[in-house]
Amino acid sequence: MKVMQFPLARITIAFIAGILLAYFVKPNPPVVFTFLAISTIIFIGTYYSSMTNVRSKALFGMATSLLAFTIGFTTQTVHTDSIRQNNYTHYKNIFDKNHTFKLTLREKLKSTTFNERYIAILNSIDQEKASGRILLNVNKDLSHSFVIGNQLKINALLYKNTGQKNPNQFDYRQYLENKQIYAQLYAEPNEIKLNPEITKDIWYYTAQLRTRIIQNLEKKKFNNKELNVAVALIMGQQQDIDSEIIQDYQYAGAVHILSVSGLHIGFILLFVTFLLKPFPNTKKGAFIKLLISLAILFLFGILAGLAPSVVRSVTMFSFMAIGQYLRRSINIYHTLLVSILLILLFQPSFLFDVGFQLSYVALFFIVWLQPLFANLWQPKNKIINYFWDILTVSFAAQIGTLPLSIYYFHQFPGLFFVTNIIVIPFLSIIMAIGCLVMVFAAFNWIPLYPAKILEISIFCLDKIIGFIASLEQFIVKDIPLNTPLLISSYLVIITVIIVFQQKHFKNLVWVFIAVIIFQSSAIATKWKVQNQSELVILNTSKNTQLLERNGANAKLYANDSFLKNSKTNKVLSSYLTGNFSRLKEKHKLKNLIYFKGNKILLIDSSKVYPKNIHPDILIIIQSPKINFDRLLQNTNPKLVVVDASNYKSFLKRWKTTCSQQKIPFHATSEKGFYKIN
């Protein structure tokens, strides 16, 4: 790969390696800065040595990579909010009792069934200055309305982010911590004191602009469903889109168009370039056009919420605009690498964002693989060539992101190429009309016919997407993939592409080696699964589910309703997919289970159980009204497990009793699932 011959590529890899190490190791700042100082001295020393000694050039290259690694290491450490002394995580008794928090609303998130959610910046705790980001949950109430920039005073209890409550599920705690959010605050609207003073920063003004655009479109009776999609397509705000629409876009392989990315930003740059054509092509005129283009791209990025994919696209197209101004040919690989370095230097946490990873991988494979596809056939008809380009770009991006998409989402939309052939030309029309309508809406004027065309276009787009998504036989779901298989699958893809580029025997050998590594990963994974056995007590609200797995075969214990609907059971499917297993048996819950030498007694609301039995593990479900002290004396268990089907008031009482009798107690609603292996 020629790209690996670029010094910038090696520097970028070393920089990313430094970020990754700091992310997992979490070093102390003094150690980090000492390491940075030493590597800087080595870099300077080898630089001057290489100027006089040719042999020192290799050492200088190594020193450069070391410095890049150290800068990445330092960047991740410096940008970790939790190491700052005034961060709320260092505040005494922060999670043990109520405190008075003063905070500023920064960003509105997608609402849940019961709460409006915001990212908030802490200003103080109990009149003491503090910093950090928290997730604020405000109970839905029609009488209140908060805007970005509002300063709130709340007396409440701060909660730590909870981890996974069930195995192989999305780790929401890790997701929040990657965004430097370590806790959540829950409040009722009447418990919040609103400061009349508003923090009027750039976030406030962009939020106000978005609100004005949306309100003006609503006044013109713009259908709410189509409006939410339009706001996502053009402004990158997905908070109000119906979950069913998002699912349709996922199943059709078009969810990427709901997030502002390179496709959208590229169109914005073309649109701005077209509007600026009247400017003279003098040196001064070209410079003014560059400044206006960069300003519009930057402001649009902020308007779209500065999501990782938005930042990536804005940065890349800014470099392209600068390259056009300087009248220099742009090496797309250099642009990719510089944009990665620049973005991660200011926001290293983006590296762990799925959207950031997918967008860069997709773009890399489009740049690298699409020309190979395009050379297979070069139609002379312009219209056919246009659709052929769309198809080759779609396949290049899909091949590149396939392992990563399966790793995170465990599904594959088989009709992605059909979707892209239809959607991308349609999206160009929607973006052109949509940008025009949004600009006019920002100035409180909505032209009737363009707005109506936009609404009808989005309605048609949703119908097309919905139809493609309804063909579920083309959607492959629950595909298992772990980290070794992810890495080895990329080795196979990359080596195969290199063989098509350079048909040498040596490259073919690398393909065979990559295939062997992939097969070895698959065999190792299968061997590991086959030699595992475990019993898992899942955490499902108001219901009980027990899973017994021996190798790749799983057995479910549950009530009749869960057994009948096991195919739509998301908790179950996540577990089976994550453990490369399948459901072989389904049984009704029973009082006594034996597993790997453990005698497990299960007591439900019927309170019926075998007498004179001394279980190793006692599982309590469905809130039985029973004398718990007497039960413990009669059964004498080594461990008590209480699932989420029990009342919280009962749970607290049982927990206290177990503590008094010194019996270990596990509540799945607090600690998550319990595993016996």
pLDDT in tens, 137-164: 988 875 677 888 999 999 989 999 888 8
Does residue 73 have a pLDDT over 90?
yes
pLDDT tier for residue 39 given thresholds of 50, 70 and 90: very high
- Cβ contact 620:641 at 8 Å: yes
Q: Of the candidates 668, 666, 675, 665, which has an alpha carbon nearest to the alpha carbon of residue 532?
A: 675
The DSSP result for 44-98, as a single string, is HHHHHHHHH-TTHHHHHHHHHHHHHHHHHHHHHHHT-GGGSTTBGGGSTTTTTS-
Per-residue model confidence (pLDDT) at position 2: 56
pLDDT over 70 (residue 328): no
Pairing of strands 99-108, 115-125: antiparallel
Closest C-alpha among 645, 284, 578 to residue 406: 578
pLDDT at 123: 92
Average of per-residue pLDDT across 470-475 = 86
pLDDT over threshold 60, residue 451: yes
Instruction: Indicate if the pLDDT at residue 294 is higher than 80.
Output: yes
pLDDT at 577: 92
Model pLDDT, residue 261: 67
pLDDT given for residue 292 in this prediction = 85
In the chain, what are the domain boundaries? 2-78, 88-200, 209-350+419-477, 353-413, 483-530, 534-676
CA distances from 310 to 257, 303, 314, 659 (A): 12, 10, 6, 52
pLDDT value for 265: 75
Instruction: Provide DSSP, 147-190.
Output: -TTEEEEEEE-EEEPP--SSTTS--HHHHHHHTTEEEEEEE-GG
Arch. (CATH architecture) of 534-676: 4-Layer Sandwich (3.60)
Whether the per-residue pLDDT at 1 is higher than 70: the answer is no
Per-residue pLDDT at 229: 85
Confidence of residue 548 (pLDDT cuts 50, 70, 90): very high
pLDDT confidence of residue 6: 65
309 — pLDDT class (breaks 50, 70, 90): low
Among the ranges given (102-111, 179-188, 609-618), the one the predictor scored with the smallest mean pLDDT: 609-618
d(CA 388, CA 380): 11
Contact present, 648 and 669 (Cβ < 8 Å): yes
Question: Mean pLDDT score of the chain, rounded to an integer?
Answer: 86
Model confidence at 268: pLDDT above 60: yes
* Residue 298 pLDDT: 80
pLDDT at residue 263, as a whole number: 66
pLDDT top residue among 618 and 47: 618
**421 C-beta neighbours (distance < 10 Å), count:** 15
Average pLDDT over residues 491-507: 89
Mean pLDDT of 334-359: 86
What is the 8-class DSSP label of residue 131? B
Three-state DSSP state, 27: coil
- Residue 68 predicted with pLDDT over 80: yes
pTM score: 0.85
pLDDT band with cut points at 50, 70 and 90 for residue 330 = low
- pLDDT given at position 448: 83
361-409 per-position pLDDT tens digit: 888 898 888 888 888 888 888 888 888 888 888 888 889 999 999 999 8
**Position 256 confidence tier, pLDDT thresholds 50, 70, 90:** confident
Q: Tokens at residue 315, please?
A: 């940065």
Top-level CATH class of 88-200? mainly beta
Q: Which carries the bigger pLDDT value, residue 427 or residue 577?
A: 577
Q: Is the pLDDT of residue 212 over 90?
A: no
Q: Show the 3-state SS of 532-563.
A: CEEEEECCECCECEEEEEECCEEEEEECHHHH
